[in-house]
Amino acid sequence: MAIDPVCKMNVNEGTAEFKSEYKGKTYYFCAAGCKKAFDENPEKYIRKSEEY
């Protein structure tokens, strides 16, 4: 399971409908809104997710 970097929900990589590539890493999202927020400012969410 991956963790959506925007809302912190668990996301199954195998069935995830929404994903983005950034700096060679794939990020998975629970919904289009989370993907859109990440795509607009990925550094904001990467830094935030590293704090956990």
- pLDDT for position 47: 78
Q: What average pLDDT is seen over the chain? A: 92
| pTM of the model as a whole | 0.87
Residue-level pLDDT at 48: 63
The residue extents of the domains of the chain are: 2-50
Neighbour count for residue 10 (Cβ, 10 Å): 10
Q: Which whole number is the average pLDDT over 6-26? A: 96
